Amino acid sequence: MARKKVKLAFIKNDVSRKATYKKRKKGLMKKLSELSILCGVEICAIVSSPYDIEPDVWPSAVGVRRTLARFQSMPESDQSKNMVNQENYLSKRIQKVEEQLEKLRKENRDKEMREIMYRCLVGEKLVIKNMSSVDLYDFGRFLETNSMEIRNKIYALKKMRIYSSSNNTSKPN
Amino acid sequence: MARKKVKLAFIKNDVSRKATYKKRKKGLMKKLSELSILCGVEICAIVSSPYDIEPDVWPSAVGVRRTLARFQSMPESDQSKNMVNQENYLSKRIQKVEEQLEKLRKENRDKEMREIMYRCLVGEKLVIKNMSSVDLYDFGRFLETNSMEIRNKIYALKKMRIYSSSNNTSKPN
DNA sequence: GCAGCTATTTTTAGTGG
DNA sequence: GCCACTAAAAATAGCTG
């Protein structure tokens, strides 16, 4: 699903088949994890491939057997309260770290916008011309939400320039 | 993953949890199908949810039993060798996210320094005066490691200013 | 509750080191 | 073979009828 659309058929090329397998297995495991965490459902999966001698199992041999047991309609229940706790604990940590990440990303974006602003003030007219459309869009939004602050800033800067240029002969060269 | 980023945590709202479950189960089944077709591997999955009385299985009850039979016929030690349990999987993700965080922090630092630089160029003399000693130290290091780039930048900026100010009457006011 | 819509996020095919 | 990157493709959260 990228760069090129692939046909839904066995990939003949050994190298790319293996590469695809590894990438997609990873993605699949992530999806399994997300579904079980988001919705609190019991899932198991087994992937037997020629690339790994042993099959990959989700979430664990025990979990698989447990879910299998239910599948075969034989009641057998909770032995892994412990695991659920760990799961909760770890997903909370992920959540926390991802929140930090998100915050930092926002800050980062803001700093970028500030840099662009200053570069404009400094006279780099090309800055905006060379921005990608996505960045331009963001910059527009940034300007909207910060217009007051920026106007004040620009005003202050102009005053400073006027002051400094009337002090020393600012005649270009 | 759309309209809004969702936190990786149990969805408390019953309605949206069910909706998410149905959408994601569909997506998961599609992914399972694609992986098995593209790479010719044997996969099975079982999803037991409170929303469906019968668990959903992929690819079919027969296929599941076949894969499971193979899985169960191997010694237990082998079964758990390749186990991808929540704990391992999630801690790997945490690790990765924390790496991203670190990278972003570095970028952030860099952007701050750039902002300071531009603010200096723009004429805000007070910037440096008001910096904390820690920041000043960092800024010094930033200047050292980027001096060449900065010198070039400043040179270019000076030329631009001269050009633009000799073009339009840059008389203050 | 469910089916369809899209803005947005996430996944991934191809690529180069 | 593995990792990081990026453009393109796919999945999906929140909405609407």
Residue B2 domain-assigned (yes or no): no
End-of-domain residue from the set B76, B109, B130: B76
Residue A3 domain-assigned (yes or no): no
Residue B107 pLDDT > 80: no
Q: Are residues A40 and A61 in the same domain?
A: yes
Contact, B145 vs B137, CB < 8 A?
no
Residue B4 domain-assigned (yes or no): no
Residue of least CA–C1' distance to C15: A3
DSSP state at residue B6: P
Choice between B157 and A90, residue whose per-residue pLDDT is larger: A90
Cα(B94)–Cα(A3) distance, integer angstroms = 28
Decide: pTM greater than 0.75.
no
Q: Are residues A23 and A90 in the same domain?
A: no
- Dihedrals phi, psi of A134, to nearest 5 degrees: -60, -45
pLDDT category, A37, cuts 50, 70, 90? confident
Segment B45-50 shows an average pLDDT of 81
Segment A20-32 shows an average pLDDT of 92
- Nucleotide with minimal C1' distance from the CA of B14 is C1
pLDDT category, B19, cuts 50, 70, 90? very high
User: Which pLDDT does position A24 carry in this prediction?
Assistant: 95
| For helices B86-122 and A14-39, angle between their N-to-C axes, nearest 10 degrees | 90
Domain count, chain A: 2
pLDDT category, B143, cuts 50, 70, 90? low
Alpha carbon of residue B153 to chain centroid: 32
The answer to whether the CB atoms of A49 and B42 lie below 8 A apart is: yes
Which residues does A146 contact at the CB level (< 8 Å), separation at least 6? A113
| Percent with pLDDT over 70 in chain B | 45
Q: Are residues A90 and A61 in the same domain?
A: no
Contact, A119 vs A135, CB < 8 A?
no
Count the Cβ atoms, other than its own, within 10 Å of residue B171: 11
The answer to whether the CB atoms of A83 and B79 lie below 8 A apart is: no
Residue A148 identity: M
Which residue is it, tokens 């217009």? A147
Which residues does B6 contact at the CB level (< 8 Å), separation at least 6? A38
End-of-domain residue from the set B76, B101, B121: B76
Give the bases of strand D that a protein CB approaches within 7 Å.
1-2, 6-15
Residue A4 domain-assigned (yes or no): no
pLDDT category, A165, cuts 50, 70, 90? very low
Residue A169 pLDDT > 60: no
The answer to whether the CB atoms of A57 and B68 lie below 8 A apart is: no
Q: Are residues A115 and A164 in the same domain?
A: yes
Average pLDDT along chain A: 68
Q: Are residues B166 and B90 in the same domain?
A: yes
Q: How far: B53 CA to D9 C1' (Å)?
A: 34
Count helices and strands (H / E) in chain A.
Answer: 5, 2
Protein-strand C interface by C-beta, 7 A? A 1-4, 6, 16, 19-20, 23-24, 26-28, 30-31, 34; B 1-6, 14-15, 18, 22, 31
Q: Are residues A107 and A162 in the same domain?
A: yes
Domain extent, residue A43, equals 14-76
Q: Are residues B64 and B102 in the same domain?
A: no
Burial class (CB in 10 A: 0-12, 13-18, 19+), A162: middle
We report the CATH number of the domain holding residue B36 as 3.40.1810.10
β-sheet bridge partners, residue A4: A2
Cα(B125)–Cα(A116) distance, integer angstroms = 19
In terms of average pLDDT, the best of B39-43, B61-65, B135-139 is B39-43
Residue B13 pLDDT > 50: yes
Gyration radius (Cα) of chain B, Å? 30
Q: What is the pLDDT of residues A51-97, one digit of tens each?
A: 776 677 776 655 656 666 665 544 334 444 444 444 555 666 666 77
- Dihedrals phi, psi of B169, to nearest 5 degrees: -60, 105
Residue A1 domain-assigned (yes or no): no
Which residue is it, tokens 């939004």? A141
Residue of B nearest to A98 (CA): B97
Residue B21 pLDDT > 90: yes
